[in-house]
Each structure stands twice: as C-alpha cells, then as structure tokens.
C-alpha cells in the first residue's frame, strides 16, 4: 500500500482515492501546491466582473498589436483549460505593458502614441491588475521555495514574509490552512523536518510522455504504466533482445490478466449483449512496477540502434556547393 497519494486536486483523482479508501487502502493525501494556488486564485477572482473585463481587454489588445510594429508586445497565450495555472503571466504582461505608457502627452505618430491607441480598456483595469499581482507574486514565491525544498517547518518559516505579503486576507487564510494540513501529513509520514514533496510535476511529465507512446486514443492508465519502465535509464543488451524476441501472443498473455479500457471497448461495442460483462470482468489486478538493477544507470554498455535504408525512395536532395 502506498505511503501517501500525491494528487493535483482533480475530481477524478479524488474519486480514485475515495474508492481506494473503501477498499481499506487509504493513505494520507498530498495536494500539489501549483494546483492549490491556481484554485485559490480561481476561487477569489473568477466570479469578479472585472476579471472578465480584463480578459476581454487583453484579447482586443492582442488583435490590435499583432501584425504591427508593436507585435513583440502582444500578450502571452493563456489556455482556456486550467486557465489559472498561467493567468499570472497575463497579469505580469499587462503590468509591464502599462508601465511603458507613463503619464503625459505623446507626440503624434510616435510609437508611444500607437501603443496608447492599442491599449483599449486595459488602463481601466489597473486596480485589478495590482490586486491580482499582490496576491499572485507572494504565492508564487512560496511555491518556488516549497517545490524545490519540500514542505517542512523550516521552509514554512522561510515563506512567512511572503505569506504576510499576500494582499487579500481570505486568500492568505486559505493558504495558511493548506500549509497546516500538509504539515500534519508531513508529521504523520515523519517528513516534517526533512521536507514533504508537494509537487507532482515529475509524475505528470512522466505519464504525459507515456501517453504519446503506443497507448491509442483512450488514455488507459494500465497501458501507460506498462510502458513507463522503457523510459527509465539506458536499456541493456539483454533487455533489448528480450523486447525484440517477444511475440504478440506472449505480450497478450502477459497483459491479458489486466483490465483494459481498450480491451473492454473492443469487446463490448461490437457485441451489445456483452454489456453486462463490464461489471463481472473486473479482475481487481493492479500493476506492480519492479525496479531494475541498481547498477543499471552506471552501465557503460550503450545500445545503439542505427536506422538504415537499403533502397531509399523519393527525391534525393543534393547539397549545393558551400552548404555541406
């Protein structure tokens, strides 16, 4: 049973933890600090009308700046999904852009005059930009410290000046409550003096990379987990030979005991009469990744797999003189 669960706060992961709890596999939960801070800012600012007005102004400013001499000042792109993970970049951009337009007149047809003509309603959002910046900057500084050093009593003490600098008191109180809960988890795990990991970036990157390699359109966690060991360390000659020599039948025999979303889909969609089998075919089998040899990373033998083509097809490109 895992010592703890590190999650990003998504509802699907919360449901998974609840189901594990029902199976008496409960363990302490650690909430990723990046998502906690993003959710804090979302909770406090999303429903404020000025926030939507700010986003609309940024969109119009972007349209006025692109394809002009001021294109380098266009705002950064902020994704619609998980917007508050990166909205602070938009705030920082707006603050800097407004800083390029000081008080006073501007000569006609000058760059400053063109800039001011492109700002639309952004200057009317100055107060909102300042409030958001005063909340986000201290939170992000705390995030930087806790991500790199872990959450412990000493690192929380290092964050204390930034915590007190958070402008909105409700945001500050909720962030302090989060730190207290995570510190209790660290105490349970005996990590309150060493540092509790509060960042899921490495796990997210590993599974994100696994999604790109042979998992198909359905992102099945079991299928992804089977491929993750191939991304770890340098493969030995024996491991490469083992992979090359395995047959499709042997692969199916190894993976056949695992419940797979892809397998269920292939079985049920063409055969409606098998729909009820979804509730009976759950094997309850969990993947267990066995670590390789300890000296694998120090192995001097590196497997080289050159790609050779005996009969190349298509037009052949000739290098011009002087451009070899």
Q: Does 225 reside within a domain?
A: yes
Query: Is 76 inside a domain boundary?
Result: yes
Q: Do residue 62 and residue 168 come from a single domain? A: yes
Looking at 176, 199, 222, the residue that finishes a domain is 199
Q: Are residues 194 and 205 in the same domain?
A: no
Show the 3-state SS of 35-66. Answer: HHHHHHHHHHHCCCHHHHHHHHHHHHHHHHHC
- Residue 167 has a pLDDT of 93
- Domain limits at 65? 32-199
| Domain final residue pick, 178, 199, 220 | 199
Asked whether residue 259 falls in the same domain as residue 127, the answer is no
In a domain, 22, yes or no: no
Would you state the pLDDT for residue 273? 76
Same domain assignment for residues 104 and 213: no
Do residues 150 and 218 both lie within one domain? no
Top-confidence range, 103-117, 118-132, 203-217, 309-323? 118-132
Q: How confident is the model at residue 239 (pLDDT cuts 50, 70, 90)?
A: confident
Q: How many domains does the chain have?
A: 2
Q: Mark whether 253 and 225 lie in a shared domain.
A: yes
- The values of phi and psi at residue 5, to 5°, are -115, 125
- Using a cut of 0.85, tell me whether the model's pTM lies above it: no
**Mean per-residue pLDDT, 250-268:** 71
CA dist 97 and 93 (Å) reads 6
Query: Which residue, of 252, 269, 286, is where some domain finishes?
Result: 269
Could you tell me if residue 314 is inside a domain?
no
């Amino acid at each position: 049973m895992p010592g703890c669960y590190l999650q990003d706060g998504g509802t699907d992961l919360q449901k998974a933890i609840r189901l594990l709890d029902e199976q008496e596999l409960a363990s302490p939960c650690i909430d990723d600090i990046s998502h906690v801070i993003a959710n804090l800012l979302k909770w406090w600012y999303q429903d404020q009308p000025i926030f939507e007005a700010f986003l609309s102004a940024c969109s119009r400013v972007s349209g006025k700046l692109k394809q002009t001499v001021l294109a380098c000042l266009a705002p950064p792109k902020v994704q619609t999904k998980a917007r508050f993970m990166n909205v602070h970049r938009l705030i920082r951009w707006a603050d800097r852009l407004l800083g390029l337009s000081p008080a006073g007149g501007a000569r006609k047809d000058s760059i400053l005059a063109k800039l001011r003509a492109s700002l639309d309603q952004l200057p009317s959002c100055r107060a909102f930009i300042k409030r958001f910046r005063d909340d986000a900057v201290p939170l992000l500084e705390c995030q930087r410290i806790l991500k790199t050093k872990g959450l412990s009593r000493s690192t929380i003490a290092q964050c204390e000046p930034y915590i007190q600098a958070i402008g909105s008191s409700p945001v500050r109180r909720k962030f302090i409550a989060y730190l207290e809960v995570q510190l209790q988890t660290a105490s349970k795990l005996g990590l309150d003096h060493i540092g509790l990991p509060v960042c899921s970036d490495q796990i997210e990157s590993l599974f994100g990379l696994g999604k790109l390699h042979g998992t198909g359109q359905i992102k099945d966690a079991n299928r992804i987990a089977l491929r993750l060991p191939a991304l770890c360390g340098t493969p030995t000659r024996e491991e490469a030979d083992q992979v090359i020599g395995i047959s499709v039948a042997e692969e199916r025999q190894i993976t056949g005991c695992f419940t797979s979303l892809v397998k269920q889909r292939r079985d049920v969609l063409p055969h409606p009469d098998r729909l009820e089998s979804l509730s009976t075919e759950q094997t309850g089998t969990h993947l267990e990744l066995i670590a390789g040899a300890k000296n694998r990373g120090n192995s001097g033998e590196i497997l080289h797999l050159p790609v050779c083509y005996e009969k190349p097809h298509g037009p052949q490109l000739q290098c011009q003189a002087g451009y070899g």
